[in-house]
Chain A
Amino acid sequence: MDQSMKWTVVGQVEDIPRQGSRVVRTESGNIAVFRTAADEVFALEDRCPHLGGPLSQGIVHGKRVTCPLHNWVIELSSGEAAAPDEGCTGSIPVRVENGTVSLGLAGFRPGLGRGGCSHG
């Protein structure tokens, strides 16, 4: 990961419910920050690649979230939709240190699908 990445503190891991998500508002749109049952933290643009549903409102299972609108399943680590659906939403770098969650927001633009999208 980019050594010169600028990290923005957004809160504590405990602020996010296990198997749940909280929203970080930015000028460029909402980011959904997820915490899995195993306490891993991921951040995605809060827009399903299908029809823009708020992924932060979905059910978190394993390292995936299911969109509340039409049940697309999105990989938290990459933002990629699970087959047979195809699509990708932007993934934001996350750093957790001593329970503090920071996001690497440099260059985050909604709809760019930056970060983990292999073909983005």
Chain B
Amino acid sequence: MSTQQIGMGNHGMNSTAPRERLVVVGNGMAGIRTVEDLLAKAPGRYDITVFGAEPHPNYNRIMLSPVLAGEKTFDQIVLNTRAWYEENGIRLISGDRVESIDRAARTVTAVSGLTVGYDKLLLATGSNPFIIPVPGVDLPGVIGFRDLADVEAMLAASKSGRHAVVIGGGLLGLEAANGLNINGMTVTVIHLMDTIMERQLDSSAGTMLQRELEGRGLTFLTGANTAEIVGEGRVQAVRLKDGREIPADLVVLAVGIRPNMALGQSAGLECGRGIKVDDAMVTSDPDILAVGECVEHRGMTYGLVAPLFEMAKVAADRLAGGAEAAYAGSVTSTKLKVTGVDLFSAGDFTADKDCEDIVFRDASRGVYKRIVLKDNRVRGAVLYGDTKDGAWYFQMLKDGEDVTPVRDTLIFGQGFGGGEAANPKAAVAALADSAEICGCNGVCKGAIVKAIKEKGLTSVDEVRAHTKASASCGTCTPMVESVLAVTLGAAYAGEAKAKPMCKCTDRTHDEVRQAIKALGLKSIPDVMQRMEWKTADGCHSCRPALNFYLLAEWPGEYKDDYRSRYINERVHANIQKDGTYSVVPRMWGGVTTANELRAIADVVDKFAIPQVKVTGGQRIDLFGVKKEDLPAVWADLNAAGMVSGHAYAKGLRTVKTCVGSEWCRFGTQDSTGMGIKLERMTWGSWTPHKFKMAVSGCPRNCAEATIKDLGVVAVDSGWEIHVGGNGGIHVRATDFLVKVETEEEVLEYTGAYMQLYREEARYLERTAPWIERVGLDYVRTRIVDDPENRKALHARFLFSQTFSQDDPWAERASGGVDRHEFSALAQVG
């Protein structure tokens, strides 16, 4: 991001002169987009204050549906972080609604009593859900679907209640219904008209969509009129005019939105259905502009994102001192954000007698396309099941292009005739520079190509950062990729996409993990079902990963699935190339005793173990143990007080130590004692990959702590904690995390660090690549800078340890666990 040179006088202003004050009421997509456009046009011109009624930074409101469906987290839909406001010198007042405007004094006053003066005021107050005029709409449990608080209320309701009723079968209502269904609720959609989404779809496409959603478990009552919402103290049912009653623990009102113009009205601004603005987005007060869903422009109000961004561009230009930009209204198109449903609608398709219809149906593929023509120009388009030509039709519609030359093949789409209909790259290559790629942000192909060439962009992320294309709803991402491919040719390396977990799924590790948490999935079959696994029971790659994610997310609750464990973790020993096993008893901090050594020697003799070897982690490894002997070997080692050393685990392996101040003349602290305490706290824990620690008693670092996953180095005044080291193929020295004074702090930081790694790294990702991926600064922010979070992480670590510190050897040697593992089914002959 280019840092704005606030107050540097680069616009001929005296840097000491007070700047004009811009107050923005509304911290949503329209308001902040205007600010962004303004900062790009006239950086530093204004002192900017932004008021937001919600307690969050600006987020992508149209992505609330994926958040509800568990496909994204809130963090992923934040558009402007608090740091962005700071970097741009913007004062953000969130969670404080502006209540009044004093136009004479040029001030606004918020609920908290805060009053701020302005020279220019921008209203972007958005919209409210339309509240149907029936009794009971104010009962607890009746909500809209407009902001994050609504999503949170729906997620909470899905945990405690069973039945949800969504009133309104439009775009928003269907997305809410789909999300609630995914969250396990029984959902009924009540719709006044006979066809759902009748404003965007004709009855054919509407019926196809309804069938698809019914197949997913939704129930539809069309032509149904709500009479009353009933309940005592809380919503219990919805009663229809025909007397039917539908049980409801939650009612979502999604019949429409109304511009939120109360503030403008009370200030005496001219209002109709919204706050009236002219083509320059200026209200009846020349110092007050308005953008977004709260405005009425040429008699129209808008509820989709593309028009808001077009308005923002004009308002920003005017605020920057321009006099020419004008908003001429928008033609809009729609896509439904329900995963697995491809639906596109644009323009007008309520055919009159002068209109001609071109219709294409392919029932077996579930494809329906309808183009409405008037005077040989596209007037409307509805696409279901195959929407890849949506942008092409939309462009012709906006351009008012005469389609006579292509009319015969129009319905087959853009690629028809070239024999490359299935090749999206060819389709994009054929687009004119003026063709719109990103409908939300109004970015055309030419602008993207120009940015790619001039700025040397090579990825979708970069294109998104520079042009905003694909930055909102994201449905045009494949087209942006094609533009990159066409522009760069062989130089385009493709997207470094997070890869799917394995061939069984298209989902990435991170997506699966989020879903486990967001949807409360608690078994491997559950995850596979909900995340649409392509195989019946996964494979050797995804099953161990899912088992770990579930174990990490639900300690004490999820039962380990041992058949989804690699053999070493299943039988608690390390398989060797000849099918025998090696056995490593735990030696806390690398310290042993004569008794332990004697017991080990006896075991070696008794079971004729061919080799005894000292490991790099200061343990003794017994090689060549037959599988059927394992329980007996463990029983003998248990009898001498030894437990599993977990040398086979994706979990804590060893804590290596030097002798430290107890013996060493250079030692500054008791490194051995510290190591033993660390090992006592962390043994038995499962992590994404193996986890090794070491404690050195002085900076000479004899325990090689600086190539461990976590290394502790004693200094005179305390302990240094280092993280992310690895001595493997790619040697990586640790990064210094923090210096602490006491042993308790070492334990707390270690627990917190292991828990953060456990909760956020991908399965089979060691700490070294994890830290390189997320950055040391991130780890510091979570653990060092945020003591509360550190303590919470540490507490979660200790909690999960209460379920994992049972010796797996004892469970099998004397407890009879998995007995079948260690004996043959039969002996024949």
**B is bound to A:** yes
**Interface residue from A24, A59, A105 paired with B825 (Cβ < 8 Å):** A24
Say yes or no for B18: interface residue by CB 8 A criterion. Answer: no
A66–B579 CB distance below 8 A: no
**Closest-CB distance, B610 to chain A (whole angstroms):** 18
B-contacting residues, A100-119, CB 8 Å: 103, 105
B537 / chain A contacts, CB cutoff of 8 Å: 19, 37, 61-62
A99 / chain B contacts, CB cutoff of 8 Å: none
B563–A19 CB distance below 8 A: yes
Which residue of A is nearest B535, CB measured? A62
**Closest-CB distance, A83 to chain B (whole angstroms):** 12
B824 / chain A contacts, CB cutoff of 8 Å: 22-25
- A99 CA / B378 CA spacing, docked (Å): 67
Say yes or no for A1: interface residue by CB 8 A criterion. Answer: no
B820–A15 CB distance below 8 A: yes
**Interface residue from B540, B564, B825 paired with A73 (Cβ < 8 Å):** B540
- A9 CA / B827 CA spacing, docked (Å): 10
Q: A20-B563, A69-B575 are in contact. Are A10 and B540 (CB under 8 A)?
A: no
B491 / chain A contacts, CB cutoff of 8 Å: none
Say yes or no for B392: interface residue by CB 8 A criterion. Answer: no
**Interface residue from A11, A57, A69 paired with B826 (Cβ < 8 Å):** A11
Which residue of A is nearest B568, CB measured? A68
A26–B825 CB distance below 8 A: no
A38-74 vs B: 1/0 string, CB under 8 Å? 1000000000000111100111111010101101010
A25–B826 CB distance below 8 A: yes
- A71 CA / B94 CA spacing, docked (Å): 54
Say yes or no for B816: interface residue by CB 8 A criterion. Answer: no
Q: A25-B827, A57-B579 are in contact. Are A17 and B563 (CB under 8 A)?
A: yes
Say yes or no for A76: interface residue by CB 8 A criterion. Answer: no
Say yes or no for A2: interface residue by CB 8 A criterion. Answer: no
Say yes or no for B465: interface residue by CB 8 A criterion. Answer: no
- A17 CA / B820 CA spacing, docked (Å): 8
B575–A57 CB distance below 8 A: yes
Q: A20-B563, A69-B575 are in contact. Are A59 and B829 (CB under 8 A)?
A: no
Q: Which residue, A33, A52, A68, A71, has most C-beta atoms of chain B within 10 A?
A: A68
B828–A25 CB distance below 8 A: yes
Say yes or no for A97: interface residue by CB 8 A criterion. Answer: no
Number of A residues contacting the other chain (C-beta, 8 Å)?
38
A61–B575 CB distance below 8 A: no
B564–A59 CB distance below 8 A: yes
A-contacting residues, B544-587, CB 8 Å: 544, 563-567, 571, 575, 577, 579
A38–B536 CB distance below 8 A: yes
A27 / chain B contacts, CB cutoff of 8 Å: 828-829
- A37 CA / B528 CA spacing, docked (Å): 14
Say yes or no for B673: interface residue by CB 8 A criterion. Answer: no
A10–B563 CB distance below 8 A: no
Say yes or no for B543: interface residue by CB 8 A criterion. Answer: yes
- A15 CA / B823 CA spacing, docked (Å): 11
Which residue of B is nearest A64, CB measured? B539
- A51 CA / B820 CA spacing, docked (Å): 25
- A44 CA / B535 CA spacing, docked (Å): 23
- A61 CA / B825 CA spacing, docked (Å): 21
- A54 CA / B576 CA spacing, docked (Å): 10
**Closest-CB distance, A103 to chain B (whole angstroms):** 8
B820 / chain A contacts, CB cutoff of 8 Å: 15-17, 22
A68–B566 CB distance below 8 A: yes
Which residue of B is nearest A67, CB measured? B540
A-contacting residues, B674-717, CB 8 Å: none
A66–B828 CB distance below 8 A: no
A53–B579 CB distance below 8 A: yes
A58-98 vs B: 1/0 string, CB under 8 Å? 11111010101101010000000000000000000000000
Say yes or no for B538: interface residue by CB 8 A criterion. Answer: yes
- A28 CA / B829 CA spacing, docked (Å): 9
A54–B543 CB distance below 8 A: no
A22 / chain B contacts, CB cutoff of 8 Å: 820, 824-825
- A30 CA / B786 CA spacing, docked (Å): 57
A10–B825 CB distance below 8 A: yes
B829 / chain A contacts, CB cutoff of 8 Å: 26-28
- A and B contact pairs by CB, cutoff 8 A, 12 listed: A20-B563, A24-B826, A24-B827, A24-B828, A25-B824, A25-B827, A33-B825, A37-B537, A57-B579, A59-B567, A60-B563, A66-B540
Task: Name 18 extra pairs, CB < 8 A, besides A38-B536, A69-B577.
Answer: A10-B828, A16-B820, A19-B537, A19-B563, A20-B563, A24-B824, A25-B827, A25-B828, A27-B829, A28-B829, A53-B577, A58-B540, A58-B567, A59-B539, A59-B540, A61-B535, A61-B537, A68-B567
Residues of B within 8 A of A (CB): 535-540, 543-544, 563-567, 571, 575, 577, 579, 820, 824-829
* Top 7 closest pairs, chain A to chain B, by CB: A22-B825, A66-B540, A10-B826, A68-B567, A59-B540, A19-B563, A54-B579
